[in-house]
Amino acid sequence: MNDIPHIGHAYTTVAADILARYNRLLGNDVFFLTALTSTAEGRKGSARRKGRFAERAFRPDGRKLQGLWTKLGISNDAFIRTTDEEHKKTCRVSCRCSWTRGEIEKRSYAGWYCHPDERF
């Protein structure tokens, strides 16, 4: 989330909610997690556009996003921020396991980076 909640946030979460509800109706176990990414490049750009240059100066308010989910009746089971300590711990454990299994290798990469998509 790089600004106030908008239709784009709602669109993707409503779509995910539909899938979660459908799978629950089928009797499948579902854990529907919604999140707020607080470390993204888009967030930094939004902070700069608002004249806030320090990384910590623009911290999106997760309560606004959770409030939107409540208004829309979203059936998520949990909500996290990527800056939550539990999330960081889980990522470290997951990466360590992948490294141990040889699923990650250290090497150089060069290529174009797409800031809007936040991917190479």
Helix (H) or strand (E) holding 15: helix 7-25
Closest among 34, 38, 41, 27 to 13, alpha carbons compared: 34
As a whole number, mean pLDDT of residues 67-73 equals 86
E strands present in the chain: 33-36, 78-81
**pLDDT for position 68:** 83
pTM value is 0.64
Per-residue pLDDT of 1-60, as tens digits, reads 556 777 887 898 999 999 999 999 999 999 999 888 766 566 566 666 666 555 554 555
